[in-house]
Homo-oligomer: A and B are copies of this chain.
Amino acid sequence: MDELAILEQAKSYRTVERGTMLAEAGEPLDHLSSVVSGCATMSRSFADGRRQMVGLLLPSDFIGRPGRAVSPYNIEAASEVTLCRFERRTFEQLMDRSPNIAHRMLVMTLDELDAARDWAVVLGRMSAREKVINFIVNLARREAAAHDGTVAEGPVQLHLPLSRETIADYLGLTIETTSRQFSALRRDGLIETPSAREVRIPDFARLALEIDDDDGGVIS
C-alpha cells in the first residue's frame, strides 16, 4: 500500500469552468485525472459540424489512459468540473511497480468497455423516446450509486448537468427531437420539469419499465 501513499502525495486538484477544453482530439494529454465533481463530455466532431459524444464523465470517472499520450476525443467541461490530477509519468511509473494499481486499471477499463458497447446498442437500435428515457434513467441510477446505492422506487428528482444540445449530441439526435421527447414524457406524466435543467420523476419504476423489459442500457 506504499504506492497508494505516493499517489496520494502526487495528486493535485484543479477546477475549471464550463466550456473548458480538457483535451483536444489528437493532442497530447500529459495529466491523468479523475472527476471529483461536475460533468465532462468526450466527443468527436466531423468536418461538417456533426458531433457525437462517446461518453459522459461523471464523478469517479477517469480521464486519460496510462501509456497513451494522445486523447482520441475532445474532452470538454459540461459544467464546472473539479479534477484530481496526476502527472502521467508519475502514474505510469507507479503502475509499472505496482501490479495492484495495474490490475485496478484493467478492471476499470473493462467496465468502460462494457459501457461503450452498451452505448452502441442504444445508438444503433433505440428510438428517440427510448434514448431519452434511457438517458434519464441511467443518470438517476448513476447519481444514486454515488450516494447510497439504489434508486428509490418512489419519486426522484435530479439535475441535468447537460444542455439540450449536449444531450442531443450524446444521444445521436437533434436538439429539437430531444426537446420534443422531453415534452412528450411530460405530457405522459412520466416526468415533470420544474425547470429545463431539473427533472422530477414521480414514479421511477414506471419510467424504467419502458426500457427495462427490452434491455438495459448504460450511461457512461
Contacts from A to B (Cβ < 8 Å):
42, 44-48, 50-52, 54-55, 65-68, 72-73, 96, 99, 102-103, 105-107, 109-110, 112-114, 116-121, 123-125, 171-172, 213-215
Q: How far is the CA of A55 from the CA of B118 in the complex (A)?
A: 11
Residues of B within 8 A of A55 (CB): 117
Query: B107 near A106 (CB under 8 angstroms)?
Result: no
| Given A65-B110, A125-B172: A214 and B47 interface contact (C-beta under 8 Å) | yes
Residues of B within 8 A of A124 (CB): 52, 123, 171-172
Query: A46 near B172 (CB under 8 angstroms)?
Result: no
| Given A116-B120, A117-B116, A120-B119: A110 and B67 interface contact (C-beta under 8 Å) | yes
Number of copies of chain A assembled together: 2
Q: How far is the CA of A44 from the CA of B214 in the complex (A)?
A: 11
Q: How far is the CA of A53 from the CA of B214 in the complex (A)?
A: 16
Query: A67 near B107 (CB under 8 angstroms)?
Result: yes
Partner of A215 from the list B47, B117, B118 (CB cut-off 8 Å) is B47
Q: How far is the CA of A72 from the CA of B172 in the complex (A)?
A: 23
